[in-house]
Amino acid sequence: MKNNDKRLIEIFQKVNNVKINLFEEEKKNDDTVDAKIKDVDIESDHDVERLIQQKDDVGDVVKGGLGKKSTSSEFDFEQLKKGLKVELEHTDDPLVALDIAFDHLKEDSKYYGENDDDPEEMAMKNARKDVEKEEDN
């Protein structure tokens, strides 16, 4: 795991008041998961849909969080796609990225912005709001 990933997880845990348990060993032992998420083209709706279906099949990858036990049917596909792109900048695991996106979208269904909004800029703006809320408490 990269240092940036560890820092992101620390911040995520603090903001969402959860303990993250990445089920890395379970995923490593499950060749079907690795095979299905290999070579995902995040620009391809078909590949993103396939990955989202895999996430629904696997369930929670990151323990806790607001999106716990959520399924993709609760969220707008375009928001999930934007979320996947943004969160993949922080992790190499697309299932973890989707799980984090589920958490953010459960909090705000437009977390990654509207139509022409820059999804990364919107995510950063919302992350700052989360940190400010945490600091106020």
The residue whose two tokens read 């969080």 is 65
Residue 136 lies in a domain: no
26 falls within a domain? yes
The three-class DSSP label of residue 10 is helix
Looking at residue 17, its pLDDT comes to: 52
Q: Is the pLDDT of residue 83 over 50?
A: yes
Mean of the pLDDT values across residues 51-78?
88
Averaged over 97-104, what is the pLDDT?
92
Length of the chain: 137
pLDDT beyond 90 at 135: no
Count of beta carbons in the 10 Å neighbourhood of residue 13: 15
Number of domains in the chain: 1
The structure's pTM equals 0.66
Q: Is residue 117 part of a domain?
A: yes
Distance CA 32, CA 20 (A): 23
pLDDT of 136 strictly over 70: yes
Residue 131 covered by a domain? no
Residues 6 or more apart whose CB falls under 8 angstroms from that of 29 comprise none
pLDDT of residue 76: 94
Distance CA 123, CA 104 (A): 9
pLDDT class for 79, splitting at 50, 70, 90? very high
CA–CA dist 46, 20 (Å, integer): 29
In a domain? residue 135:
no
Is residue 14 in some structural domain? yes
CA distance 92 to 58: 17
4 three-class SS: helix
Q: What is the pLDDT of residues 6-58, one digit of tens each?
A: 666 666 666 655 544 444 434 444 444 444 455 667 788 988 998 889 889 98
Q: 119 lies in which domain range?
A: 3-126
